[in-house]
Structure 1
Amino acid sequence: MSNKKKVIGITGGIATGKSVVTSYLRAHGYEVIDADAVVRELQEVGGALYLAIRDTFGEAYFLKNGELDRATFGALIFSDSAARNKLSSVQDAIIRTELFRRCETSQSEIIFMDIPLLFERDYTGFDETWLVYAPQDIQIKRLMKRNSLSESEAMLRIKAQMPIDEKRSLATRIIENCDTIEVLENQLASLISEI
């Protein structure tokens, strides 16, 4: 392997099983930089995103103890495309800078970056992009079960993202997650052997 780091972007849609894939990678010794976890850190009281959200959206989305009210704020973001776009423009540069700072300072030769909005936000700089794929009907069923949502609530969250089939056309490699965990793990083992 060369001295150059190999950086692989991983994305998917809501309830496609991306967390199962990243758990597998971590269990097999690979570094995974999780964009959602980075965002949560940046949203902690006093963090860069916390301050940006407070300045942009105001006090109504914060609890009495000063923390971001994730439930109320999430409901706004999933139901209001203007608010979603406003949040994206505010947080994009902050998140992007922090993700790539972590990548640059990593000692790993192969780094996976788990970025849910990889295609939507036009992230670049990857050697490959892997899409964890499940068709929309499976996404809906999984999301309803996982989050105790109605079908319409699940659909609202899915519609807030780029269609999974559109993402499929943009990815370097597709990880089909429509079968058993064993089938998924066999696919992953095969993909890893190729890198």
Structure 2
Amino acid sequence: MKKVIGITGGIATGKSVVTSYLRAHGYEVIDADVVVRELQEVGGALYIAIRDTFGEAYFLENGDLDRAKFGALIFSDAEARAKLSAVQDDIIRTELFKRCANSRLELVFMDIPLLFERAYTGFDETWLVYAPQDVQLKRLMKRNDLSESEALLRIKAQMPIDEKRSLATRIIENCDTIEVLENQLASLISEI
């Protein structure tokens, strides 16, 4: 029987390091961000839904979604964000679980940044890649060359990492070296 594990985290907690490790060790990771980009390509289900909902103003002359202009709208307008969420959530959810069902592997990981925020269900376990907020802050400032206040705004825009911690089945502590993280992952995988 297929086992499905949902993976989530917060900004700069190291979720991409975890999913890279899993892929490198032969596990399938269905990445929600990649799926969304594919669905937003010309003719894709999200592309059509966005065009029907928001109009031509957010598309380039060649027909592509103007990601910069659309992103500016979504991040600055709560009403537009809610409208987008209402339009896209079912489309994304359906596609993610379709890909999972079509996988021939017995163990599938699904990388979903908004797993708890959007109340995704259907997992045997949920894994949270965790780092305390002070670690997130330092990593984000360094990675994105942000000031402390800019980085803090991005962190605060998400569900608090400690709230996510209380919802997860398993916690992947990512506050040490890559080697420590990889040993922890190997141990978790051996347990399932």
TM over 0.5: yes
Q: Could you say which residue in structure 2 is the equivalent of 1:58?
A: 55
Amino acid at match of 1:49: L
What is the CA distance between 1:155 and its match in structure 2?
Answer: 2.7
The CA deviation at 1:37 is 0.4
Q: CA deviation at 1:105?
A: 0.9
Corresponding residue number in structure 2 for 1:175: 172
Q: 1:66 to 1:149 in 2, by over 3 A?
A: farther
- SS class of match (2:181): helix
Alignment equivalent of 1:76, drawn from 70, 73, 76:
73
The separation in 2 between residues aligned to 1:108 and 1:51, in whole angstroms, is 31
Q: Distance in 2 between matches of 1:70 and 1:14?
A: 20
Relative to structure 1, the CA distance from residue 21 to residue 88 in structure 2 (aligned partners, 3 Å threshold; closer, same or farther) is same
- TM (norm. structure 1) is 0.92
Establish whether residue 101 from structure 1 lines up as the match of residue 98 from structure 2: yes
CA offset at residue 30 of structure 1?
Answer: 0.5
TM-aligned CA deviation for residue 149 of structure 1 = 3.0
The alignment partner of 2:101 has SS state of helix
Identity, in percent, stands at: 88
TM-score, normalising length from structure 2? Answer: 0.93
Number of the residue aligned with 2:110: 113
Q: Which residue of 1 aligns with 2:3?
A: 6
- SS of the residue corresponding to residue 17 of structure 2 reads helix
User: 1:1-195 to 2 correspondence within 5 Å?
Assistant: 4-195=1-192
Rounded Cα–Cα distance in structure 1 between residues aligned with 2:20 and 2:65? 27
> Deviation at 1:55?
1.9
Aligned Cα root-mean-square deviation (Å): 1.5
Gap runs ≥5 in structure 1: none
What secondary structure does 2:126 align onto?
strand
Q: Which runs of 5+ in 2 are unaligned?
A: none
List 4+ stretches of structure 1 deviating above 6 A.
none
Task: Tell me the amino acid that sits aligned with residue 20 of structure 2.
Answer: S
Deviates more, 1:180-189 or 1:153-162: 153-162
